[in-house]
């Protein structure tokens, strides 16, 4: 490749594409049927390795990555051609290779050298597997120098080997790019000039044709082109100059060496060898490819290329837009509040404009928020591997089913939910699902079932982890709780017993394993979920299994809230925790001490928390019968919050209080109201703990 081309600017795109291809590779490997592997899936796994190897080779500075994928690719090629039978230990080795490749990509991304020991070890294992196969029948040379000859049929031939570094014909290479805009045409012409000598150039409509004399391979030229356009827009063949340029009649194009799918910006899809004259190239099957640049939270493309282009942007830019839209919403709320004092007859046009601004601001807000939303498949896709490996360690057979992978959640939440879900899944494998022998004794199938599901429920997302295992052991939990001095008895309801496993340090495991049993997880899981504004619930049936339900808000940037007044202060209550509000009657109030009261609501006695006491607010209403009781629910705990007045319900823009001021007990965040004042958003879970502490005392 010409020394004038600086490809370092494309490294980040290659790394992102490599990560996506490796994720696809793992998913496909885990889904393979050993007895009858799907040919399309085998081809897709091979193409993923082939694309990464080609991209690494194009850049020339990622040697470990190129070597490792080359060895993996050779083995995958034998398997997909039926020359090697697939075994479980091979899947294990390929998954381990994928892990090493992921580490290599991460190292190169951070301008570091990959772990040499891991590289040598995995390459030795891959070579050993190849040698084992070679003992049965010859295998391809480690570094093939030419692709198999293309068939004479009109159908495109999929490239299966490394492209020669030198052109295989004396004819120049004809580079044709279709569906091109003028800006990209200039950039491509400049790049091609750096790759060799441009003998002739033509522009027709939105197409650009160049005849290039070069020592660069077809794959090198494709790699450069695909950083500017998509692969399905590029067609490269060896062809004589047209008559208008050389004075001789143009010859029919001769297929160049089959291009390998090495461009980092293309998807893991077969790259077809051009086999038709240029005049028919539009009808030829195009190369399925992902866009050259993609939005960072977009799932990797799996089908044919789309005409809809996308861009890759940093999350920090999206966050900046969300913050600006939040400020716009606050400004719009200020205008609405100011306009509410105007005479609608005299200022009808202004008020109509503000109303239209309100609708546009809400639409803009929803559109911008959708950019941060990611499908739950981003989380669920990693658990087949977790289940497979941990079940093998425990000697168990477990089938994992996922539902609702397309359900979307805010990126900031989707990354924070991974660790809690991982702990729940591992807990289910270790404590929930029995060994095959015990399941058979219980009249069950030897294979256990685990379900991961996600669905939208109102303005929240509900994520469930369920299994058909033995269920929670009520007697063991109670025995452990009593031994630790917890206030429980044999008559404690099941729902309260299940909540005991979230206590710090609580574990009923008879022995510590490397999967679970240290008693340092479930309390952390609950705290993490509550830190995301959600809550966690447990249900279990002996011998039938356990279900853990996590309820989260869709986003932390916007909150549906109820604004309330206490004294001269305004507070925001998350609407998802509000069940009802009322003005208590004297006969509903019961005193349990001189200072503590409960509120009777339809036969249920709810602890009363006065918000003015929590935050020491002056001039607040202290007479319970003259205040307003807002019934809140956090997890399975219900309590009555006393406030002076209800102001209304509306969406608020959440502002992080810790980053702008400091952590305040009982407050989760803050917002700016329409009059420019700051209102605190109440932490309902902190108030719940406050009620429980009082009950304990």
CATH number of 427's domain: 3.30.565.10
Pairing outcome for strands 604-610 and 637-643: parallel
Query: What gap in Å lies between CA 268 and CA 4, rounded to an integer?
Result: 28
Question: Do 523 and 585 reside in the same domain of the chain?
Answer: no
Residue 303 located in a structural domain: no
Is the sign of the CA dihedral 577, 582, 584, 587 positive or negative? negative
Residue 656 located in a structural domain: yes
Side-chain half-sphere of 526: how many Cα atoms within 13 Å?
A: 21
Decide if pLDDT at 219 tops 50.
Answer: yes
What token pair was written down for 118? Answer: 């891991």
Question: Do 593 and 669 reside in the same domain of the chain?
Answer: yes
Question: Do 581 and 545 reside in the same domain of the chain?
Answer: no
Question: Do 386 and 515 reside in the same domain of the chain?
Answer: yes
Give me the pLDDT at residue 508, please.
Answer: 63
Decide if pLDDT at 159 tops 60.
Answer: no
Query: What gap in Å lies between CA 55 and CA 266, rounded to an integer?
Result: 10
Query: What gap in Å lies between CA 368 and CA 444, rounded to an integer?
Result: 49
Name the region of 563 (left: φ>0; alpha: ψ -120 to 50; beta: rest): beta
Question: Do 72 and 191 reside in the same domain of the chain?
Answer: no
DSSP 297: T
Residue 544 three-state SS? coil
Domain end: 529, 553, 577, which one? Answer: 553
Query: What gap in Å lies between CA 354 and CA 364, rounded to an integer?
Result: 15
pTM for the full predicted model: 0.57
Decide if pLDDT at 649 tops 90.
Answer: no
Pairing outcome for strands 645-653 and 558-566: antiparallel
Q: Which residue has the higher pLDDT, 371 or 440?
A: 440
Question: Do 686 and 586 reside in the same domain of the chain?
Answer: yes
Whether 465 contacts 551, CB under 8 Å? no
Question: Do 613 and 504 reside in the same domain of the chain?
Answer: no
Give me the pLDDT at residue 435, please.
Answer: 93
Residue closest to 228 by CA, chosen among 174, 296, 292, 180: 292
Show the domain range for 368. Answer: 315-372
Question: Residue 48 belongs to what H/E stretch?
Answer: helix 39-59
Exposure string for 671-685, b = 16+ CB within 10 A, e = fewer = bbbbeeeebbbbbbb
- For the chain, the first-to-last Cα distance in angstroms comes to 77
Question: Residue 615 belongs to what H/E stretch?
Answer: none
Taking residues 290-309, what's their average pLDDT?
Answer: 38
Residue 531 located in a structural domain: yes
Residue 217 located in a structural domain: yes
Query: What gap in Å lies between CA 443 and CA 446, rounded to an integer?
Result: 9
Strands (E), 150-196: 173-177
Question: Do 515 and 388 reside in the same domain of the chain?
Answer: yes
Largest CA distance in the chain: 108
Decide if pLDDT at 225 tops 70.
Answer: yes
Question: Do 457 and 480 reside in the same domain of the chain?
Answer: yes
Give me the pLDDT at residue 693, please.
Answer: 61
Name the region of 630 (left: φ>0; alpha: ψ -120 to 50; beta: rest): beta
Question: Do 583 and 688 reside in the same domain of the chain?
Answer: yes
Give me the pLDDT at residue 287, please.
Answer: 29
In sequence order, the 6+-apart residues with CB closer than 8 A to the CB of 308 are none
Query: What gap in Å lies between CA 226 and CA 265, rounded to an integer?
Result: 6
Domain end: 134, 156, 183, which one? Answer: 134
Distances (CA, A) of 627 to 110, 315, 563, 631, 684: 59, 45, 15, 13, 19
Taking residues 256-266, what's their average pLDDT?
Answer: 37
Question: Do 195 and 231 reside in the same domain of the chain?
Answer: yes
Whether 68 contacts 119, CB under 8 Å? yes
Give me the pLDDT at residue 206, please.
Answer: 84
Give me the pLDDT at residue 468, please.
Answer: 93
What CATH number should be reported for the domain holding residue 576?
A: 2.40.50.180
What CATH number should be reported for the domain holding residue 115?
A: 1.20.120.160
Give me the pLDDT at residue 522, please.
Answer: 82
What percentage of the chain reaches a pLDDT higher than 90? 20
Q: In which band, very low, low, confident or very high, does the pLDDT at 222 lie, cut at 50, 70 and 90?
A: confident
Side-chain half-sphere of 360: how many Cα atoms within 13 Å?
A: 8
Taking residues 334-344, what's their average pLDDT?
Answer: 86
Residue 304 located in a structural domain: no
Q: Which residue has the higher pLDDT, 304 or 492?
A: 492
DSSP 380-438: HTTHHHHHHHHHHHHT-EEEEEEE-TT-EEEHHHHHHSHHHHHHHHHHIIIIISPPHHH
Question: Do 346 and 421 reside in the same domain of the chain?
Answer: no
Q: Which residue has the higher pLDDT, 686 or 244?
A: 686
Query: What gap in Å lies between CA 32 and CA 48, rounded to an integer?
Result: 15
Taking residues 197-223, what's their average pLDDT?
Answer: 84
Residue 609 located in a structural domain: yes
In sequence order, the 6+-apart residues with CB closer than 8 A to the CB of 660 are 670
Residue 292 located in a structural domain: no
**Domains held by the chain: number:** 5
What token pair was written down for 135? Answer: 């003992």
Give me the pLDDT at residue 515, please.
Answer: 54
Q: In which band, very low, low, confident or very high, does the pLDDT at 55 lie, cut at 50, 70 and 90?
A: confident
Question: Residue 542 belongs to what H/E stretch?
Answer: none
* Average predicted confidence (pLDDT) for the chain: 78
Give me the pLDDT at residue 101, please.
Answer: 94
Question: Which tens digits make up the pLDDT trace of 501-523?
Answer: 887 777 666 555 555 544 456 88
Whether 609 contacts 640, CB under 8 Å? yes
Is the sign of the CA dihedral 329, 330, 334, 340 positive or negative? positive
Enumerate the β-bridge partners of residue 375. Answer: 408
Whether 404 contacts 443, CB under 8 Å? no
Tracing tokens 């289940």 back to the chain, one arrives at: 387
Domain end: 261, 283, 305, which one? Answer: 283
Q: In which band, very low, low, confident or very high, does the pLDDT at 36 lie, cut at 50, 70 and 90?
A: confident
Residue 163 three-state SS? coil
Helices 63-80 and 39-59: crossing angle in degrees, nearest 10, is 160
Residue 168 located in a structural domain: no
Question: Which tens digits make up the pLDDT trace of 532-589?
Answer: 888 888 889 888 999 999 988 877 777 788 999 999 999 999 888 899 999 999 999 9
């Amino acid at each position: 490749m010409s020394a004038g081309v600086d490809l370092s600017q494309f490294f980040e795109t290659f790394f992102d594409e490599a990560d996506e291809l490796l994720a696809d590779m793992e998913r496909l490997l885990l889904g393979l049927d050993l007895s009858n592997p799907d040919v399309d899936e085998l081809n897709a796994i091979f193409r993923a390795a082939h694309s990464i190897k080609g991209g690494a080779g194009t850049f020339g500075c990622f040697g470990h990555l190129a070597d490792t994928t080359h060895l993996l690719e050779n083995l995958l090629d034998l398997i997909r051609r039926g020359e090697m039978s697939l075994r479980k230990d091979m899947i294990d080795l390929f998954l381990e290779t994928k892990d090493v490749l992921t580490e290599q990509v991460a190292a190169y991304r951070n301008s570091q050298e990959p772990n040499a020991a891991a590289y040598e070890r995995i390459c030795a294992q891959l070579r050993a597997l190849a040698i084992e196969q070679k003992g049965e029948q010859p295998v391809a040379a480690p570094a093939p120098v030419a692709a198999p000859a293309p068939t004479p049929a009109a159908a495109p031939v999929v490239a299966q080997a490394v492209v020669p570094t030198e052109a295989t014909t004396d004819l120049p290479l004809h580079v044709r790019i279709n569906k091109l805009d003028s800006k990209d045409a200039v950039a491509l012409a400049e790049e091609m000039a750096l790759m060799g000598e441009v003998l002739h150039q033509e522009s027709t409509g939105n197409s650009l044709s160049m005849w290039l004399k070069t020592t660069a391979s077809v794959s090198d030229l494709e790699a450069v082109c695909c950083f500017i356009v998509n692969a399905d827009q590029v067609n490269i063949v060896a062809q004589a100059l047209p008559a208008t340029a050389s004075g001789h009649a143009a010859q029919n194009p001769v297929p160049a060496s089959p291009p390998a799918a090495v461009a980092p910006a293309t998807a893991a899809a077969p790259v077809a060898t051009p086999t038709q004259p240029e005049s028919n190239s539009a009808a030829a099957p195009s190369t399925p490819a992902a866009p050259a640049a993609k939005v960072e939270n977009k799932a990797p493309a799996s089908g044919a290329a789309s005409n809809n282009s996308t861009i890759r942007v940093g999350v920090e830019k999206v966050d900046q837009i969300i913050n600006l839209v939040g400020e716009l919403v606050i400004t719009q709320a200020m205008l609405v509040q100011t306009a509410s004092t105007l005479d609608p007859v005299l200022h009808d046009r202004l008020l109509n404009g503000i109303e239209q601004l309100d609708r546009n601001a809400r639409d803009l807000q929803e559109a911008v928020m959708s950019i941060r939303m990611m499908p739950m498949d981003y989380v669920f896709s990693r658990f087949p591997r977790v289940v497979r490996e941990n079940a093998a360690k425990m000697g168990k057979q477990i089938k994992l089913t996922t539902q609702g992978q397309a359900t979307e959640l805010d990126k900031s939440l989707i990354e924070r939910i991974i660790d809690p879900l991982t702990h729940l899944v591992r807990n289910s494998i270790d404590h929930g699902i029995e060994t095959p022998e015990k399941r058979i004794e219980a009249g069950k199938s030897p294979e256990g079932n685990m379900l991961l599901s996600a669905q939208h429920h109102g303005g929240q997302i509900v994520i469930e982890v369920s299994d058909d295992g033995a269920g929670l052991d009520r007697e063991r939990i109670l025995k452990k709780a009593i031994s630790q001095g917890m206030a429980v008895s044999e008559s404690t309801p099941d729902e309260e017993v299940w909540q005991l496993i979230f206590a710090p340090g609580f574990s009923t495991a008879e022995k510590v394993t490397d999967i679970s049993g240290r008693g340092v997880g479930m309390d952390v899981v609950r705290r993490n979920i509550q830190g995301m504004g959600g809550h966690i619930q447990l249900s279990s049936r002996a011998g039938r299994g356990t279900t853990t339900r996590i309820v989260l808000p869709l986003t932390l940037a916007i909150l549906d809230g109820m604004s309330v007044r206490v004294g001269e202060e305004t507070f925001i209550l998350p609407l998802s925790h509000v069940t009802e509000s009322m003005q208590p009657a004297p006969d509903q109030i019961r005193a349990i001490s001189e200072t503590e009261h409960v509120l009777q609501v339809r036969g249920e006695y709810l602890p009363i928390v006065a918000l003015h006491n929590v935050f020491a607010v002056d001039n607040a209403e202290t007479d319970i019968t003259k205040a307003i009781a807002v019934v809140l629910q956090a997890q399975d705990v219900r309590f009555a919050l006393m406030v002076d007045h209800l102001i209304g319900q509306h969406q608020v823009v959440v502002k992080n209080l810790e980053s702008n001021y400091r952590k305040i007990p009982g407050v989760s965040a803050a917002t700016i109201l329409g009059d420019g004042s700051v209102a605190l958003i109440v932490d309902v879970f902190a108030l719940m703990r406050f009620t429980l502490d009082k009950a304990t005392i």
